[in-house]
Amino acid sequence: VFVSAAVASILHADLDAFFASVEQRDDPQLRGRPVIVGPGVVLAASYEARAFGVRSAMGGRRAHELCPDAIVVAPRFSTYVRASRAVFAILDAAAPTVEHVSIDEAFLDVRGLEAISGSPAEIARRLRARVRQEVGLPLSVGVATTKHLAKVASGAAKPDGLLVIAAGDEQAFLHPLPVQRLWGVGAATAQRLRAHGIVTVGQLAALPEELVMGMVGRAAGRRLHALAHNRDPRPVRAGRGRRSVGSQRALGRGRRSPEALDAVAIALVDRVTRRMRAGARLGRTVVLRLRFGDFSRASRSRTMARPTAATAPILTVVRSLLAAERETIERRGLTLLGVTVTNLESSVTGAQLELPLDGHDPAALDTTVDAIRDRFGTSAISRARLLQAGDRAAPWRQPGDEG
C-alpha cells in the first residue's frame, strides 16, 4: 500500500525535553532554570540547560563544565511512565490511528477527520492545549504529508511549538536544511556525505539515486534519496508492538569474579523475562551484549527451538554464551553486560486460534476480543487488531504446534 496524503494530515507529536519538563512541572523551583536529569550521563536537559550546550547522552562532568549552575536531579522513571500514559490517552482519543514511537513521541493520521474534528492544524492546536492543561507538559507538533516530514517539522517547531508544512511547500522547507536533519543520518553518514561535498538536503536531492547509494550503501542510499524528495511511503500504524526486550548494566572498570558476573546475568534475565511476561510476549533469540575494558563491543546470540518467556531456559542460554567468552573477558575486562530477547511473538496465539474466522459474526468476535483483553491485558489487543486487518506479517501458529 502506497500512502501519500494529498493534504498535510500526518501529525508528529513530541514532548519537549520530556524528563526535564516533568521535573520542572513537579517542582516550581526548577522552572525557568537549567535542569539536568542525571546523575552521570545526561538523560535529559531542559532548554535552559541546552542553551549552554548541554545535550543528552553527554557525560556528567562535561555537562557540569558547560553549565555549572545546572540543577541535577535523579530520574523518576515511574513518574515519567505515568505522565506518558496520560499524554497518550489524549492522543489516542484524537485520532483512530495513533502510532506510539517511544515514551515521548507519536504519529497520528488525521485524514478524514475534517468534518468531526476540524483541520489537522486545529487538531494539533487542541492537542497541545489539552496536554498543557491536563498533564502540564509542553508538546510540540509537526504536521505534513509524510511521517518523515512531520517529524522534521516537529523538531523545527521546538520548543513548545506547532509547524504545518502545507502540501506543495515541502521542498522549499526541506532543501535548505543540513543533511543531519534527515531520519537515519547521524555522524557517520553525515561525514561520508560531507566528503563528497554534500551538506544540505537540497544538494542531496540534486544527486541521482545511484550516486547516493554508492556513497552510503544500498538501503541507506535509497532511503536518503527518497527522503530528500519527501517520498516516504510508511503509513501510520496503530499500536505497533516492540520487536525486542532487553536490559543491560554498566559494570565500571573493576574486575568481577565469575560468580559476581553470574549474579548480574541472573538479575538481567529476571528483569527481561518479567517484562516479557507482563506484555504477554515470547521470544526465541537470546542476544548477549558485551563491552570490554577498551570499550569495544561484541554480541553473541543463540536462537532457541521454541519461543519462551520463562527465566530458566533463557538463563541457561545466557550462561552458556557467557561461559564461551570467559577467557576473552578475563583477558580484556568487561565494562558492560546486556541481555536482549528478540524474535518476539505474542503469547496469545492459543486464544487467537479460537477466533471465529469463517463465521464473520461481529458479536462473537467482540466476545473473543474481550476475553483476550481480560486474560492478557490490552497490549494483546493491538495484535488482534492487526490480524483482524489481515496483517500477513504477523506470526501465525499452526494448529499442530505446541503451546
Partner DNA sequence: TCTGGGGTCCTAGGACCC
SS (H, E, C) 194-219: HHCCCCEHHHHHCCCHHHHHHHHCHH
Q: Assess whether 134 carries a catalytic annotation.
A: no
According to DSSP, residue 138 is labeled -
Applying CB under 7 A, does 275 fall inside the site for DNA? yes
All three cell numbers of 361: 459474526
3-class secondary-structure state, position 159: coil
Applying CB under 7 A, does 159 fall inside the site for DNA? no
Closer of 32 and 396 to DNA (Cβ): 396
- Amino acid 201 reads V
- Rounded to an integer, what is the distance from CA 69 to the centroid of its chain? 31
Nearby residues of 110 by Cβ (< 8 Å), 6 or more positions away: 9, 10, 11, 94, 95, 117, 120, 123
Please, are residues 287 and 342 in contact by the beta-carbon 8 Å criterion?
Answer: yes
Q: How far is the CB of 163 from DNA (least distance, A)?
A: 15
Please, are residues 163 and 156 in contact by the beta-carbon 8 Å criterion?
Answer: yes
Applying CB under 7 A, does 102 fall inside the site for DNA? yes
From 130, 175, 249, 373, residue interacting with DNA (rule: CB under 7 A): 249
All three cell numbers of 140: 510540540
According to DSSP, residue 29 is labeled G
From 284, 319, 332, 397, residue interacting with DNA (rule: CB under 7 A): 284
From 79, 117, 203, 342, residue interacting with DNA (rule: CB under 7 A): 342
Closer of 218 and 360 to DNA (Cβ): 218
Applying CB under 7 A, does 140 fall inside the site for DNA? no
Residues that bind DNA (rule: CB under 7 A) add up to a total of 53
Applying CB under 7 A, does 43 fall inside the site for DNA? yes
From 93, 219, 260, 278, residue interacting with DNA (rule: CB under 7 A): 219
Applying CB under 7 A, does 393 fall inside the site for DNA? no
From 86, 199, 336, 369, residue interacting with DNA (rule: CB under 7 A): 336
The dihedrals phi and psi of 311, each to the nearest 5 degrees, come to -65, -45
Applying CB under 7 A, does 252 fall inside the site for DNA? yes
Q: How far is the CB of 381 from DNA (least distance, A)?
A: 18
Q: How deeply is 227 buried, as exposed, middle or buried, from its count of CB atoms within 10 A (0-12, 13-18, 19+)?
A: buried
| Residues annotated as part of the active site | 105
Where do contacts with DNA occur on this chain (CB under 7 A)?
40-41, 43, 56-57, 59, 61-62, 102, 104-105, 151, 180, 183-190, 217-220, 242-250, 252, 271, 275, 284-285, 295, 297-303, 335-336, 338, 340, 342-343
